[in-house]
A and B are shown apart, each in its own frame.
Chain A
Amino acid sequence: QQQVKQSPQSLIVQKGGIPIINCAYENTAFDYFPWYQQFPGKGPALLIAIRPDVSEKKEGRFTISFNKSAKQFSLHIMDSQPGDSATYFCAASNFNKFYFGSGTKLNVKP
């Protein structure tokens, strides 16, 4: 049973669009929610992370929205660029164990 459910599986947007990737979890003990970006042939790299005591966090063009009561969180990419084309993973952590979503492959068309 997957601990973190991620959707959509793939996403195509035009340059300048705002792709939104959603994740949901069940375990209320999770207390750290990072997003990772992965380019083909590379390891994932941390993009942005949030803890459940805040509802939103922005870093540059990337925003996490967090809804504790619904047990959902999402990644928004403002003014998306072709260079943002990659696979994005959400994750949730309880102590030292991290559980990842299944990934969203984003394609930003020029």
Chain B
Amino acid sequence: NAGVTQTPKFQVLKTGQSMTLQCAQDMNHNSMYWYRQDPGMGLRLIYYSASEGTTDKGEVPNGYNVSRLNKREFSLRLESAAPSQTSVYFCASSEMVRGEQYFGPGTRLTVT
């Protein structure tokens, strides 16, 4: 099992460009999450999907959109990237609500 996979690993964008971060899990988990990690801030929840077909805002959703494509895949889209979105993005999944979260390896995004 690969667990949680994320693509790409690194990305550099110019201000105003758009991109989609991909996440997939092979553990048949119901819930999936997107976080951003900034120095001194810990991880902050952007969006989550409690189950296939549902998505909800987290703590810092502005500037992002998500799609739960199917049970395995949960993507995060930046429509118009801003330097404030420079961060490391982590996807996670869990079998159930408040269950153990398994994290992917992260995507390091720089917006210039």
Contacts and interface: CB of A to CB of B under 8 A. Distances in A.
A96 B56 contact: yes
B103 interface: yes
Contact of B43 (A32, A45, A96, A100): A100
B103 A43 contact: yes
Given A32-B98, A43-B103, A97 B44 contact: no
B66 interface: no
B106 A43 contact: yes
Interface in A75-110: 89, 91, 93, 95-103
Contact of A96 (B35, B42, B48, B104): B48
11 contacts: A31-B98, A32-B98, A34-B100, A41-B105, A43-B4, A46-B100, A96-B56, A97-B45, A98-B33, A98-B43, A102-B41
Interface of A: 2, 4, 6, 9, 31-32, 34, 41-46, 49, 89, 91, 93, 95-103
Interface of B: 4, 31, 33, 35, 40-45, 48, 50, 56, 58-59, 90, 92, 97-98, 100-106
